[in-house]
Amino acid sequence: MTQQTFATTGPAQVPVRRRRRLVWQGTEEHPNRPGTVVLLVCTVAVLLPLYATVTMAFKTTAQSVNGQVFSLPSPFSVEGFVEAWRLTNFPRGFAISVFVTTVTVLGTVALASMAAYAIARNWDRRFFRASFFYLLAAMFLPFPVLALSQVKLTGMVNLDNPVGVALLHVMFQLSFSVLLFTAFVRGLPEELEESAKLEGASTWTVFRRIVFPMMAPMAATVAIFAFLASWNDFMMPSLITADSTLQTLPVLQSVFQTQFSSNYNVAFASYLMAMAPAIVVYLFTQRWVMAGVTQGAIK
């Protein structure tokens, strides 16, 4: 898509005299061509490691050990994927990652949206206002601070497993998500809710039928961030989950660092399979990802 857009717009007719003034900003009629070229060159820094991952993954073991990382695979081989599938027990790791991530996303959206609605509509009551700041306080609490006690506590209550990991993921996502939802609900008009209540609808019905549907765009942002945080997390599952057969995909990748260190094609095929879902989700939802970062940081 990059190539195509770049090629079809054609050469810009920019008068030499004006162009010097417009080097970094450009105007509608006079696009900034040097800037475009510089940025295209910079994308190499992003794409090169990903390119290396893909080419390595499709090589044979013999090709992968010769050290020519950036050469194209010849012949194309899927033996790395087959072997990675078996070595990491991919279906099980994938299922556990999907489970943890699904529970995290659903739990975060449900708990945070309800809590935020309650807080936003009762801001004048001290209990709700205090709860808001209480939940928010954890936004800056680093996991390493809690790790030792959490590992101990989850072990004591038999949550040293994917269920416990998902629960902790929800709790760590709660601050950021409640913050986003609360700001969003404050911007929603209250008239609809009030008229529904006059007609006898309960708070729960109002939330489910009126408020939550209106929150959908923010729910998408919250869900994507919960998905990315949970799918990609390494620290928490690696510490909390006691049984190594119940590990998520990122943690499973360490097997290639210790046991199978020379089968690079297998390792890279495995890395690719573990990172691909996040990349695919990102490509389809980038609008919300981009909005979410700025809203979260600035508000």
* Residue among 39 and 82 whose Cβ is closer to another protein: 39
* Residue among 58 and 256 whose Cβ is closer to another protein: 256
* Residue among 86 and 152 whose Cβ is closer to another protein: 152
CB of 210 to another protein, least distance (A): 14
* Residue among 170 and 246 whose Cβ is closer to another protein: 170
Q: What is the DSSP letter of 88?
A: T
Cα–Cα distance, 176 to 35 (Å, whole number): 35
Q: What is the dihedral of CA 48, 51, 57, 59, to 10 degrees?
A: -100
Note the Cα 263 to chain centre separation in Å: 29
From residue 1, give the alpha-carbon distance in Å to each of 6, 199, 250, 283.
8, 52, 30, 13
* Residue among 168 and 246 whose Cβ is closer to another protein: 168
CB of 113 to another protein, least distance (A): 9
* Residue among 33 and 92 whose Cβ is closer to another protein: 33
Q: φ and ψ at 215, to 5 degrees?
A: -80, -5
Cα–Cα distance, 32 to 35 (Å, whole number): 5
CB of 245 to another protein, least distance (A): 19
Given a contact cutoff of 8 angstroms between Cβ atoms, the answer to whether 241 and 167 are in contact is: no
Given a contact cutoff of 8 angstroms between Cβ atoms, the answer to whether 70 and 52 are in contact is: yes
Cα–Cα distance, 219 to 63 (Å, whole number): 46
CB of 92 to another protein, least distance (A): 18
CB of 282 to another protein, least distance (A): 4
**1-7: long-range contacts, CB 8 A cutoff, minimum separation 24:** 2/40, 2/43, 6/36, 6/40
Given a contact cutoff of 8 angstroms between Cβ atoms, the answer to whether 32 and 25 are in contact is: yes
CB of 82 to another protein, least distance (A): 20
> Per the structure block, which two tokens stand in for 248?
């998520």
CB of 207 to another protein, least distance (A): 7
Closest CA to 279 of 47, 2, 19, 13: 47
* Residue among 118 and 223 whose Cβ is closer to another protein: 118
